[in-house]
C-alpha cells in the first residue's frame, strides 16, 4: 500500500535524511514497516522550530513532499487551495491518504485528494482546548469560532472516511454520526523500550517527573504548588520537567516565580526537550512517580504509556480518556485541585504495596499498546477499508 500522510507538525530534509520531531518520526517509521511507500506532506520548520527536528527517519521507503513554511494558522487557511493543489498533483502516488487531526488543513487536503480514499486519525479537540490558552477575551473567542468552523468541516470529512480516534471520549461523542469509526492508541513505544523494576521511591529525594508540552493546560502551576505543600509536610521530593516550551505560553517563567515564592526553587528543574527514545527515556528510568495534572481537553497522553512502560506509578487528573484506560494502574484526582494532587502523591509515597501494584499493572497495560501492534492493526484496517490486497 502507498500511504500519504499529513499533520501540521513540520519536517525537513538534511542531506539524505528526513528529520522531524521524534514522536512523529517514530510513528512514520512504524507505518513504513507495513507499507510499500509513505509519502509525507509536511510543512518545513520555521527557524525557531529547527531544534525540534530531533529524529532522523530510519526507513528508506519514506518520501517527503514540502508543503512550504509552517506559517500561522490563518495564513495556512488562506492558502488552503494551494496546499490542496499539492495533494491533487501527488494523488496518483497514493492508495490512501491518512490525515492526523485536528489540523487546520485537514478538510481542504481531503477535498484535494478525491477520489483517493481518505482516513483520519483524530487525537484531540481544539475547541475544548481554547479555554486553556491565556488570551484576551476577543482573541480567545475568535480562535474558538475558527476551530468550531474547522471542526464542522472535519466532521463532514469524517462521515465519509475511515476514522481512528485515540480516546473513548471521542469515540462516544462520534459513534452515532461517523459510520466507520475505530478506537486506537497513539504511542511512541516499541517493544525494546520497556524498563522493568518492582518498586520506586526507595531513595531520597523522590523525583516527580512530568514530560510533554510545557503548556499551562497541563497543570504545571498546580504541580509546583503540590510540591511545596509536600515539602512543608516534611517530604523530600523534587520535580523534573522535560519537554518543549509552548509558543506564546509563559508558564515556565511563572512556575519559576511561584517556586521561588513558595521556597522550592531549588527543587524544580527544567531539563529542556529530549528526543523520544533513549534520550527521553533516561529521565523516566531515573524518576520515582510520573505526574500529569491536565486541566481539560485531554485525549490520552502518550506520555502515560511511556511512564508505565518504564515502571513508574502514575498520578493524573480525571480528564478525557485517562479514566477509561488506566484502571487501577494510576491514582486519579480532580483537575485544578492542588490538594487532590498532594493526597494522591502522598498515597503513592507511603503505600508501597499499592505503589508496586500500580507499577505492575501499568507495565502490563503499556505492553498491549506498542507501536508495532498499533500500526500493524491500523494499516490492516486501512487496506481492508480501501480494498487493497
Task: CATH number of the domain at 316, please.
Answer: 3.40.50.2000
176 and 53 in a common domain: yes
248 and 115 in a common domain: no
| Cβ atoms of 55 and 79 closer than 8 Å | no
Please report the pLDDT score of residue 167 as a whole number.
82
Q: Is 108 helix (H, G, I), strand (E, B) or coil?
A: helix
Please report the pLDDT score of residue 99 as a whole number.
98
Grid cell 518545513 in the structure block, residue: 44
Q: Which three cell numbers stand for residue 104?
A: 487546520
Look at the chain and count its residues.
389
How many other CB atoms sit within 10 Å of the CB of residue 191? Answer: 11
- Please state, in angstroms and as integers, the Cα–Cα distance from residue 374 to each residue in 30, 74, 128, 166, 308, following that order: 9, 33, 26, 11, 17
Query: In this model, does residue 196 exceed pLDDT 80?
Result: yes
Query: In this model, does residue 317 exceed pLDDT 80?
Result: yes
Write the DSSP symbol of residue 245. Answer: B
Distance (Å, rounded) from C-alpha 167 to C-alpha 299? 5
What strands, in cross-sheet order, belong to the sheet with 314-317?
268-270, 237-242, 206-211, 289-292, 314-317, 330-333
Question: What's the total number of domains in the chain?
Answer: 2
Distance (Å, rounded) from C-alpha 148 to C-alpha 158? 15
Residues paired with residue 66 on neighbouring β-strands, in sequence order: 42
261/328: higher pLDDT: 261
Please report the pLDDT score of residue 98 as a whole number.
98
pLDDT level of residue 173 (50, 70, 90 thresholds): confident
pTM, two decimals, is 0.86
State the DSSP H helix or E strand holding residue 281, giving kind and residue range, or none if neither: helix 278-286
**Which positions ≥6 away from 265 have C-beta within 8 Å?**
256, 259
First vs last C-alpha separation in the chain? 8
Question: pLDDT (tens digit, 9 = 90+) per residue, 211-266?
Answer: 999 988 899 999 999 999 999 999 999 999 999 888 778 899 999 999 999 999 99
Distance (Å, rounded) from C-alpha 301 to C-alpha 298? 7
| Cβ atoms of 200 and 359 closer than 8 Å | yes
Distance (Å, rounded) from C-alpha 146 to C-alpha 132? 16
| Cβ atoms of 194 and 367 closer than 8 Å | yes
208 and 125 in a common domain: no
Q: Is 2 helix (H, G, I), strand (E, B) or coil?
A: strand
Residues paired with residue 13 on neighbouring β-strands, in sequence order: 18
State the DSSP H helix or E strand holding residue 241, giving kind and residue range, or none if neither: strand 237-242
Count Cα atoms within 13 angstroms, Cβ side, for 84: 17
Please report the pLDDT score of residue 130 as a whole number.
56
Burial class (CB in 10 A: 0-12, 13-18, 19+), 67: buried
376 and 251 in a common domain: no
Q: Which three cell numbers stand for residue 116?
A: 483517493
pLDDT level of residue 26 (50, 70, 90 thresholds): very high
pLDDT level of residue 126 (50, 70, 90 thresholds): low
Q: Which three cell numbers stand for residue 11?
A: 519536517
354 and 378 in a common domain: no
145 and 181 in a common domain: yes
Burial 283-317, CB ≥16 within 10 A → b, else e: bbeebbbbbbbbbbbbbbbbbbbbbbbbbbbbbbb
246 and 115 in a common domain: no
362 and 216 in a common domain: yes
Domain hosting residue 284, numbered range: 191-366
257 and 170 in a common domain: no
Considering just the CA atoms, what is the radius of gyration of the chain in Å?
21
Mean confidence (pLDDT) of the chain: 92
Distance (Å, rounded) from C-alpha 160 to C-alpha 118? 8
133 and 12 in a common domain: yes
Greatest extent of the chain over all pairs of C-alpha atoms, in Å: 65
170 and 29 in a common domain: yes
The arithmetic mean of pLDDT across residues 94-117, rounded, is 96
340 and 327 in a common domain: yes
Amino acid at each position: 500500500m502507498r500511504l500519504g500522510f499529513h499533520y501540521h507538525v513540520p519536517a525537513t530534509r538534511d542531506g539524505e535524511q528526513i528529520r522531524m520531531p521524534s514522536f512523529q518520526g517514530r510513528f512514520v517509521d512504524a507505518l513504513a514497516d507495513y507499507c510499500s511507500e509513505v509519502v509525507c506532506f509536511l510543512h518545513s520548520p520555521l527557524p525557531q522550530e529547527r531544534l525540534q527536528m530531533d529524529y532522523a527517519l530510519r526507513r528508506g521507503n519514506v518520501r517527503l513532499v514540502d508543503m512550504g513554511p509552517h506559517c500561522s494558522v490563518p495564513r495556512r487557511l488562506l492558502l488552503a487551495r494551494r496546499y490542496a493543489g499539492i495533494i491533487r498533483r501527488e494523488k496518483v502516488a497514493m492508495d490512501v491518504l491518512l490525515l492526523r487531526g485536528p489540523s487546520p488543513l485537514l478538510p481542504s487536503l481531503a477535498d484535494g485528494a478525491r477520489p483517493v480514499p481518505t482516513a483520519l486519525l483524530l487525537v484531540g479537540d481544539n475547541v475544548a482546548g481554547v479555554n486553556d490558552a491565556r488570551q484576551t477575551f476577543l482573541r480567545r473567542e475568535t480562535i474558538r469560532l475558527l476551530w468550531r468552523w474547522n471542526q464542522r468541516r472535519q466532521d463532514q470529512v469524517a462521515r465519509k472516511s475511515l476514522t481512528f480516534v485515540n480516546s473513548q471520549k471521542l469515540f462516544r461523542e462520534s459513534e452515532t454520526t461517523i459510520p466507520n469509526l475505530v478506537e486506537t492508541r497513539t504511542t511512541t513505544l516499541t517493544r525494546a523500550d520497556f524498563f522493568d523494576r518492582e518498586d520506586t521511591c526507595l531513595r531520597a529525594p523522590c523525583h516527580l517527573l512530568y514530560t510533554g508540552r510545557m503548556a499551562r493546560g497541563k497543570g504545571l502551576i498546580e504541580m509546583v504548588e503540590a510540591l511545596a505543600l509536600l515539602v512543608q509536610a516534611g517530604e523530600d521530593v523534587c520535580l523534573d520537567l522535560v519537554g518543549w516550551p509552548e509558543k506564546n505560553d509563559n508558564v515556565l517563567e511563572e512556575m519559576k516565580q511561584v517556586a521561588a515564592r513558595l521556597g522550592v526553587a531549588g527543587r524544580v528543574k527544567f531539563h529542556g526537550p529530549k528526543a523520544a527514545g533513549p534520550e527521553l527515556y533516561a529521565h523516566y528510568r531515573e524518576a520515582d512517580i510520573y505526574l500529569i495534572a491536565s486541566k481539560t481537553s485531554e485525549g490520552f497522553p502518550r506520555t502515560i504509556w511511556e511512564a508505565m512502560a518504564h515502571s513508574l506509578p502514575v498520578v493524573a487528573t480525571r480528564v478525557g480518556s485517562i479514566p477509561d484506560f488506566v484502571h487501577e494502574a494510576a491514582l486519579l484526582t480532580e483537575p485544578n485541585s492542588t490538594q487532590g494532587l498532594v493526597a494522591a502523591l502522598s498515597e503513592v509515597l507511603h503505600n508501597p504495596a499499592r505503589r508496586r501494584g500500580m507499577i505492575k499493572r501499568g507495565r502490563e497495560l503499556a505492553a498491549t499498546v506498542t507501536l508495532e501492534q498499533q500500526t500493524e492493526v491500523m494499516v490492516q484496517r486501512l487496506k481492508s477499508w480501501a480494498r487493497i490486497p
